[in-house]
A and B are shown apart, each in its own frame.
Chain A
Amino acid sequence: DAKTTQPPSMDCAEGRAANLPCNHSTISGNEYVYWYRQIHSQGPQYIIHGLKNNETNEMASLIITEDRKSSTLILPHATLRDTAVYYCIVRDIFSGNTPLVFGKGTRLSVIA
């Protein structure tokens, strides 16, 4: 079962920042937080991951709370192409053989 809780849907105006929350209150010390997204009818796409520090790449920023029980994915300037289902996943870094377990994710709609 997925170890994360996400809101089922969110809207964001084009050009504004999209902030997608994720709760992972039972996360263990060895577990990374991964974010993937799935655009309609395509395979999931990796976005970003982190352990306890905030992370940023060309796609997004990941903010993890100090207690690591929740995180927020930030798309700084959302575009219509960012409309997708976003999945927050926790995975043990020492269990490279365990599969990614997807929850229901958050359906983000970017509105013009």
Chain B
Amino acid sequence: KAGVTQTPRYLIKTRGQQVTLSCSPISGHRSVSWYQQTPGQGLQFLFEYFSETQRNKGNFPGRFSGRQFSNSRSEMNVSTLELGDSALYLCASSLPGEVGPTGYTFGSGTRLTVV
């Protein structure tokens, strides 16, 4: 079956701009989580959406937001970009309340560079 698809793979933006990243989960997976990965901070949890509702949120400023559509696809938005937002943004999908064998399935990520 198709994996988690993230688009675009690479993105270059200027400080102050805003950006939208997209994630299509595995068919049947209704939970989508977003992570930010930087060399200094590692993998950090941003937020999780389930059935179009934000269920968990990490410790990030309000410039970071997301949403989930009825088909479970999710987008995250970062407004007023800062240089420190340069990172690999990873999306993971899972079944609701999944704690089974595979848990989360990650996409390949979107590498965002802010200049």
Contacts and interface: CB of A to CB of B under 8 A. Distances in A.
Interface of A: 32, 34, 41-46, 49, 87, 91, 93, 96-105
Contact of A43 (B42, B50, B92): B92
Q: Is the interface of A mostly helix, strand, loop or mixed?
A: loop
Nearest to A48: B101
B50 to A, nearest CB: 8
A46 B99 contact: no
26 contacts: A41-B88, A41-B111, A42-B108, A43-B106, A43-B108, A43-B109, A44-B90, A44-B106, A46-B104, A49-B101, A87-B43, A91-B99, A96-B96, A96-B99, A97-B48, A97-B50, A98-B56, A99-B45, A99-B48, A99-B58, A100-B33, A100-B103, A101-B45, A102-B44, A103-B42, A105-B42
Size bin of chain B's contact surface: 20 to 34
Given A41-B111, A45-B106, A100-B103, 10 more contacts: A32-B99, A41-B109, A42-B109, A43-B4, A97-B50, A97-B55, A97-B56, A98-B56, A99-B58, A101-B45
B69 to A, nearest CB: 20
Contacts of B88: 41
Interface of B: 4, 33, 35, 42-45, 48, 50, 55-56, 58, 88, 90, 92, 96-99, 101-109, 111
A84 B45 CA distance: 20
